Structure 1
Amino acid sequence: CRLLLLRGAAELPFHHPALLPLWCYASGVVLTFAMSCTAHVFSCLSLRLRAAFFYLDYASISYYGFASTVAYSYYLLPRLRLLDARALSRYLQQHLGWYVDCSLPLALYSSLVLPVAFVLAVTCTVACCQSRSECCAYPFAIRTFVFAMPLSMACPIMLESFLFDLRAHNPTLFVYFYRRYFWLLVAAFFNVSKIPERIQPGRFDIVGHSHQLFHIFTFLSIYDQMHYVEEGLLNFLKAPPTTPTYLGTVGYMLLLILCLGMVIRKFLNVADLCKQD
């Protein structure tokens, strides 16, 4: 509801190209929560359905990670001084003492950020589905690490804060960005450590289970992310550096759905898919 009622987007029709990355991001947020609820509710029906629903859950998380990158690539990354060749070259000249032309590597990064994020989304889904096999010794650690990989697409924002004083020129992005990653670290801690039920088995089976805490802190991270994506959209609408296209936004998402569907179908055809974890 918050995304639908953005003040800065109120005068634009819903099909306006500037809002396409926002709808991609919103679809990722809605889908990952919906599939997580579905997987937990219906996973008790049978071992095969349990595997199928959690495969869909992993795929939805990868979909959300890629959708976030789509929003970043249009609303946030183009406004970073780190990705401005002139600003970065000037910074390196001041600190290294010699001129470095950064235009080519930055242009290469900008052109590859979405394809690389796409490949990561598919690869992460494959790895998470594979973690449900009987031969996987540390499934929760693997899934936590794999889910963290798409977050690396936000590294330019972190580098921006180190090199160009992000706190001063964009305090909203700085505060919400780092608070989001704090929540993610807390969520990862509970997901891997299995605290508190490991300390007192049986006491937290209904309320206070580590996986419940994991979901709560994951939600808080997405809620903070939504704030700085919203801020990025409002700044984008003031002076759009580029115009999002249907092919570069919705087209990518549809292709990703097709690829993730093929991955899930492949794993459902494997005999050894019924690990109970």
Structure 2
Amino acid sequence: MENSNRVAGNEGLVEADEVCLNEGKGKRLWKKMKYQLVEYHSLPGYLRDNEYIVGHYRSEWPLKQIFLSIFTIHNETLNVWTHLIGFFLFLALTIYTAMMVPSVVDFHSLQRFPDMLKRADLHKIHSELLTCLPSIPNMPHLQRLRDEIRTSLHSMDLLPSLSGWHIMELLNNCLPERFSHGNHSDVCVLRSMKEDVANLIAPLVFRPITRWPFFAFLGGAMFCLLASSTCHLLSCHSERLSYILLRLDYAGIAALISTSFYPPVYYSFMCNPFYCNLYLGFITILGIATVIASLLPFFQKPEFRSLRASLFFGMGFSGVAPIVHKLILFRDQPEALHTTGYELLMGAFYGLGALVYATRIPERWMPGKFDIAGHSHQLFHVLVVAGAFTHYRAGLIYLKWRDLKGC
């Protein structure tokens, strides 16, 4: 009897262990199944947006798994990375513009200028510089420069910080040719000092223009790209978070559109304060109204859908007036035509992106074939980055144009 009880007890323990083992396997299996990708028909209503993308959805995952999913394959992977890479691209462009584009001259770096002159034929370089310089405007002001080169640079830190676009261009065109037959030492020193000479001369010739409109555009672009990338990564967590991130995404689009007008409007009409303030004020007010309409829950009701669409359309269309006005005022300036060409190309990128996004091409032609790569939203993202970069190129032309010619 005792042995039979012991056997029965052991069998009960074995059964209990098997039950626990099965429960553990079931929990692991459920956890594995829970975070698998699902198809469109399994999604909750707030995640159903494009019925032509059939599968590979994440649905109501925990935040930890969502953050890790940035390195896995699903139908939002390229949506996240296209704009995340775009964000880092514009962050790099912002740093490059602040550090490399001629704007602020560090005259402390010119303390090495006399040492470079000592290693060269001072009389020869000085005479060649003065031969090149007469083609620079405001030549009478360069008499002070001649005295500075002949004596010392102790007073250079008192000079204003200005641009050197034109001086570098002039020295690049003039000095290399004139020194093509000189001795090797002079040529080497000339190459190392050319930028410093340009920065030295620039304060005597030009006045700087402000950079804030250009950096406002770069900030708006980075905000838009980062907000979009974050929305595509995290919106599958819950309905509440999806709602918040979508509003932020709309606000980012409004910020990009409105700040895109700052460089062309400001630099085109900086010499006409009335029109400059008029255009900037209008687009700023319209941009703020669009952001408010995007963020406030009151404006998310279906009856305000047409109002929200009209605000976005109005922001984009409002750029026609200042561009046409610029062409009328500066029709004889090549920079006006050049920048307008870039702006038309930017509009073509944005317009094509909006068309692809609205028509859901190409996935509507072959549902399920473009779930991972190639669907309309990914193409839209690429075109947005291309349009913003095109506008950046136009902004560089505006900066150089106004730095050289002023009003």
- C-alpha displacement of 1:143: 6.5
Q: CA contact under 8 A between 1:8 and 1:237: conserved in structure 2? A: no
Q: CA contact under 8 A between 2:268 and 2:326: conserved in structure 1? A: no
1:169/1:10 CA distance change after superposition, 3 Å: closer
Distance 1:167 1:182 in 2: 23
Distance 2:402 2:373 in 1: 42
SS at match of 2:95: coil
Report what 2:262 is aligned to.
Answer: 70
2:281 to 96, 115, 126: 115
SS at match of 2:365: coil
Q: Partner letter of residue 197 of structure 1?
A: E
**Which has the higher relative contact order, 1 or 2, with Cα contacts under 8 A spaced 6 or more apart?**
1
1:75-98 CA-partner distances (Å, limit 9, x unpaired): 23447xxx7xxxxxxxxxxxxxxx
Q: Partner letter of residue 9 of structure 1?
A: P
Between the two proteins, the alignment pairs up a number of residues equal to 212
Distance 2:398 2:232 in 1: 33
1:19 aligns with 2:185: no
Report what 1:2 is aligned to.
Answer: 93
- Paired-residue identity, %: 23
1:192-215 CA-partner distances (Å, limit 9, x unpaired): 111122222222221111111111
Q: CA contact under 8 A between 2:257 and 2:316: conserved in structure 1? A: yes
- C-alpha displacement of 1:240: 4.1
SS at match of 1:2: helix
Distance 1:25 1:61 in 2: 12
Q: Partner letter of residue 5 of structure 1?
A: Y
Q: Partner letter of residue 286 of structure 2?
A: L
Gaps of 5+ in 1: 84-105, 242-277
- C-alpha displacement of 1:144: 6.4
1:233 aligns with 2:399: yes
Distance 2:260 2:382 in 1: 19
Report what 1:213 is aligned to.
Answer: 379
1:47-67 CA-partner distances (Å, limit 9, x unpaired): 110111111111122222232
Structure-to-structure mapping, 1:34-73, within 5 angstroms: 34-73=226-265
Distance 2:102 2:222 in 1: 19
1:198/1:146 CA distance change after superposition, 3 Å: farther
1:2/1:126 CA distance change after superposition, 3 Å: closer
Gaps of 5+ in 2: 1-91, 107-160, 162-207
1:19/1:133 CA distance change after superposition, 3 Å: closer
- 58-67 or 16-25: which moved more? 16-25
Q: CA contact under 8 A between 1:160 and 1:166: conserved in structure 2? A: no
1:179 to 342, 345, 353: 345
Q: Partner letter of residue 237 of structure 1?
A: D
Q: CA contact under 8 A between 2:220 and 2:256: conserved in structure 1? A: yes
TM-score, length-normalised on structure 2?
Answer: 0.45
Q: Partner letter of residue 236 of structure 1?
A: R
- C-alpha displacement of 1:19: 1.9
Report what 1:147 is aligned to.
Answer: 312
Q: CA contact under 8 A between 1:167 and 1:174: conserved in structure 2? A: no
TM-score, length-normalised on structure 1?
Answer: 0.64
Q: Partner letter of residue 316 of structure 2?
A: L
Report what 2:222 is aligned to.
Answer: 30
2:302 to 118, 130, 135: 135
Distance 1:10 1:110 in 2: 22
Q: CA contact under 8 A between 2:335 and 2:397: conserved in structure 1? A: no
Q: Partner letter of residue 154 of structure 1?
A: G
Please provide the CA RMSD for this pair: 3.3
Report what 2:367 is aligned to.
Answer: 201
1:133/1:152 CA distance change after superposition, 3 Å: closer
Distance 1:237 1:168 in 2: 15
Report what 1:264 is aligned to.
Answer: none
Distance 2:405 2:329 in 1: 24
